[in-house]
Structure 1
Amino acid sequence: MAMLSNIVVIGAGLAAAKAVETLREEGYDGALTVVGAEPEPPYERPQLSKEFLKGDTEFALIHDADWYAEHDVRLLTGVTATALDLAGATVALDNGDTLPYDALLLATGARPRVPDLPGAESAVRLRTVADARRLKEALTPGARVVLVGGGWIGLEVAAAARAHDAQAVVLEVAELPLLNVLGPDLARYLVDLHIQHGVEIRTGVRVEAIEPDGVVTSEGKVAADVVVLAVGAVPEVGLAEAAGLRVSQGIEVDEHLRTSDPKVYAAGDVALATNTVLGPLRVEHWDNAIKQGRLAARAMLGQDVAYDWLPYFYTDQFEFSMEYVGRGSASDEVVVRGDQGGSQFIAYWLQDGPDGKRVTAGMNVGIWDVNQVLRAMVGTVVDPDELTDLR
């Protein structure tokens, strides 16, 4: 075990929670401090656009509030790190305190992207539980909710709006939502599903301004009671960049999640991490935050561990409930096996290579306990005619 006596974690999301949990599980008994800008203890963010927003469940924390005291973790909520001194190995906080560290984990996450449009700052963004609570209050029967952006978050919020009997209008600049992720056939399938549930989807639409009563687009004004921006996220790299750490599309880290400073690690949404198979990746998903938080903890303690797993994510939208593993591309062939009409099928992303068609990703929709099989298939050469729905 590395000789550490004082570890500081900046950010109090899922990656941070799993890091401190793992540090204690692995026997680290030194000082451990978590600094979070939000007033709540760490929680999982997927619920904000899924179960909690739809009203299916109450808001849930990762650990009970007393877990941190029980495990001798100093949890500072509602506090922001303002400066990082690499030479002095200290972090300055907005409450006036300065924290020294032997090892530091940056788990600062990402913030919603705000486009350079008139009125954009007035729109709702969905990142915190406070955001989700405000949006949930606005999802009343008959309310007209306009989603700017047809990615995963935009479509999940549209489904949640319909669960509250609110109207939902999705504005997407591309030909189809998620076209580059799913390919044309599956993107059209998802659009059709939303339309069947009363969601209005407008494609090829350029947003020009956001006003108090709607959205001005290239095709005219779209009336709205609530406007939600869902156009991606930006990693929170400001602290790292100001300190002089290597930063590009995220905080650059190696396969052990170590930054350009050997005492500093990064994990979760903010980390541009070197995957041992796929190279540099920045992944904004629940599974990655869990695994990278655990990996960072073990790497800090000197264990021989590396970022060697495939990206994974999931979504729930009406009958469309799926898990995806791997990293397909827009140029891949997509092969579907099973019953699309019944929302029970497997999709395979295939890439041509010198030795045949290689699986780059797989997605199970409404068919469970097969994701590990798909995970094992990623990277292998297959005969498309022999692919099945795995049942």
Structure 2
Amino acid sequence: MAATELKRIVIIGAGQGGFQAAASLRQEGFAGEIVLIGDEPELPYQRPPLSKTYMKTGDATILPLRPESFYDAQGITLRMGSRVEAIDRAVQRVMVDDEPVAYDHLILATGTRNLRPPLPGIEHCLDLRSLSDAKALRAALSGASSVGVIGGGFIGLEFAAVARAAGLEVSVAEAAPRLMARAVSAQMSERFAEKHRALGTMLRLADPVAEISAKGLTLASGKSIACDFALLSAGVVPNTELAAEAGLSIENGIKVDTQLLTEDPAISALGDCASFPDPFSGRLVRLESVQAATDHARHIAKRLIKGAQAPYRAVPWFWSDQADWKLQIAGLAAPEDRAEELPDGTMLRLDGERVTAVETVNNAKVHMRSRKAMGQGTPLMLEDFAALAG
């Protein structure tokens, strides 16, 4: 459908990606109706601060992406606290709280939810995914002296650092043999393990949780971790049920092409829920990243309104604030990519001689230069990196 024929665009999911899609559609000149649907009651808000700044201060006023007046001024219809029950592709409409809402184009930005493994006592665990989760977690912190963290990824370690700074005893149980195993090199994992141990956090690696109780955690090895409460941060699951029920292809997320379009030309998908072809390897990847969701949204808006046909090629990047360390990653490494450490502590991930990712700690200059170089459209080679980093 041509841009001039688009009268109403519906966006399911009011997180960072859904919000950015609505904002970018207006920025690209779309004059039709935009309906933004979210299942939480709050205005669209930032999630990254939940495990960092908000956990320390409890100040929710810093979270909204825009005030309510922005949506009024931009003519964006908000349907917050609403649930989409079904997508009817044949007639191009969604059912929202039992009410049909027609669309000319539909954008799925349904995000992810916390993985809750079928462990005995899992009901004793708290989550950290939404603002309501964060409020419950802060309340638990205020009356606790010890906490267990299930999962050694970004969220779990960010929370662990905040809890240690607040004076709590913290234990992290990670099923994998190292921290942040899906995100960083083994060398960077070890560096952060040393950092958290220096903060006083107890790490239990390669020893998954077998049972949870009100008194603590029992590990597969039989060891026990006493704690007043536990945070579950053992990964996420993409919210693909609506898409699957509508007959769209699912492969570790809602499958889209290089234009972030599903096999239905009237439906796009973005952010954490979408799996798309990596521009270098061609393999389907799904990125759990605020920046990826934002970049996806801008790309889709350009395609819909300007007719842009270039494939999506934005450089992925990620960050995590843990105590006084800021981890930044530019690019996307495959698990088998080798790692090479530079004298300044920068860690390169390499596929042959091609730099696939650059990991830095408290080195924004190298991070930004790496992102810029990777975004030039040609592979960044190892021999070129010395000049870049200098």
TM-score, with length taken from structure 2: 0.92
Say which is worse superposed, 186-195 or 218-227, in terms of deviation: 218-227
Change (3 A) 1:179 1:73: closer
Deviations 1:31-57, CA, capped at 9 Å, x for gaps: 111110000111121111122123386
Residue 325 of structure 1 and its aligned partner are, at CA, apart by 1.0
Q: Tell me the equivalent position of 1:137.
A: 139
Question: 1:119, 1:16 → 2: CA distance?
Answer: 34
Residue 354 of structure 2: aligned partner: 358
Aligned residues: 380
Partner of 1:159: 161
Letter aligned with residue 118 of structure 2: D
Q: CA deviation at 1:181?
A: 3.5
Contact 1:346 1:389 in 2 (8 A): no
Q: Any conservation in 2 of the 1:140–1:164 contact (CA below 8 Å)?
A: no
Aligned equivalent of 1:270:
273
Query: Which residue does 1:257 correspond to in 2?
Result: 260
Q: 1:70 aligns with which of 66, 69, 73?
A: 73
Task: Give CA-to-partner distance per residue, 1:192-233, whole Å, 9 cap, x none.
Answer: 100111111111212111112211212232212111111111
Which of the numbers 24, 27, 43 marks the counterpart of 2:26? 24
What is the Cα deviation at residue 376 of structure 1? 4.9
Q: Is the 8 A contact 1:351 1:359 kept in 2?
A: yes
Task: Classify 1:377/1:334 alpha carbon distance in 2 versus 1 (closer, same or farther; 3 Å).
Answer: farther
Segments ≥4 residues shifted beyond 6 Å: none
**Match status 1:281 vs 2:280:** no
> After alignment, is 275-284 or 146-155 more displaced?
275-284
CA positional deviation for 1:361: 0.6
Instruction: State the Cα RMSD in Å.
Output: 2.0
Q: Matches of 2:213 and 2:294 in 1, distance apart?
A: 38
Residues 179 and 242 from structure 1, CA distance in 2 versus in 1: closer, same or farther, beyond 3 angstroms?
A: closer
Structure 2 residue aligned with 1:215: 217
- Looking at structure 1, the residues matched to 195 and 319 of structure 2 have their Cα atoms a distance apart, in angstroms, of 17
SS at match of 1:369: helix
Q: How far 1:389 sits from its partner (Å)? A: 9.1
Name the CA distance, whole Å, in 2 between partners of 1:191 and 1:389: 29
Give the superposition deviation at 1:388. Answer: 7.8
Shift, 1:252, TM fit:
0.6
Stretches of structure 2 that go unaligned for 5 or more consecutive residues are none
> Which one has a larger percent helix, Structure 1 or Structure 2?
2
**Cα displacement string for residues 282-302 of structure 1 (whole angstroms, at most 9, x for unaligned residues):** 101011011111112222223
Among 231, 235, 255, which residue is 1:232 paired with? 235
Answer yes or no: is 1:148 the counterpart of 2:134: no
Q: Deviations over 1:299-352 (max 9, x none)?
A: 22233343102211001111321210112233333222245xxxxx32111232
Name the counterpart of 1:312. 317
Counterpart amino acid of 2:389?
Answer: L
What is the rounded CA distance, in whole Å, between the counterparts of 1:275 and 1:116 in structure 2?
Answer: 32
Amino acid at match of 1:290: T
How far 1:2 moved relative to its partner?
4.2
Are the counterparts in 1 of residues 184 and 359 from structure 2 also a CA contact under 8 Å? Answer: no
Are 2:334 and 1:329 equivalent residues in the alignment?
yes
Partner in structure 2 of residue 342 of structure 1: none
Tell me the residue number matched to 1:100.
Answer: 102
Q: Aligned partner of 2:323: which letter?
A: F
Aligned partner letter, 1:284: E
> Residue 86 of structure 2 aligns with which residue?
83
SS of 1:139's equivalent? helix
Deviation, structure 1 residue 115: 0.6
In structure 1, C-alpha distance between the alignment counterparts of 2:334 and 2:299, rounded to whole Å? 27
Aligned match of 1:203 in 202, 205, 213?
A: 205
What is aligned with 2:380?
380
Identity of aligned residues (%): 32
| Distance in 2, Cα, partners of 1:331 & 1:275 | 16
For residues 166 and 142 of structure 2, what CA distance do their matches in structure 1 show? Answer: 6
The TM-score with structure 1 as length reference comes to 0.92
Residues 133 and 142 of structure 1: is their aligned pair in 2 closer, same or farther, counting only changes over 3 Å?
closer
2:296 to 292, 302, 305: 292
135-144 or 319-328, larger mean C-alpha shift: 135-144
**1:111 and 1:325 mapped to 2: Cα distance?**
25
How has the CA–CA distance of structure 1 residues 92 and 174 changed in structure 2, closer, same or farther, with 3 Å as cutoff?
Answer: same
Specify the SS of the correspondent of 2:192: helix
Q: Does the aligned pair in 2 maintain the 1:162–1:168 contact within 8 Å? A: yes
Deviates more, 1:248-257 or 1:217-226: 217-226
DSSP 3-state at the match of 2:66: coil
Amino acid paired to 2:256: V
Displacement after TM superposition at 1:180 (Å) = 4.8
Q: What whole-Å deviation, never above 9, does each CA across 1:345-368 have from its counterpart, x for those lacking one?
A: 32111232xxxx221110222122
Task: Please give the alpha-carbon distance, in whole angstroms, between the structure 1 residues aligned to 2:144 and 2:254.
Answer: 43
1:376/1:34 CA distance change after superposition, 3 Å: closer
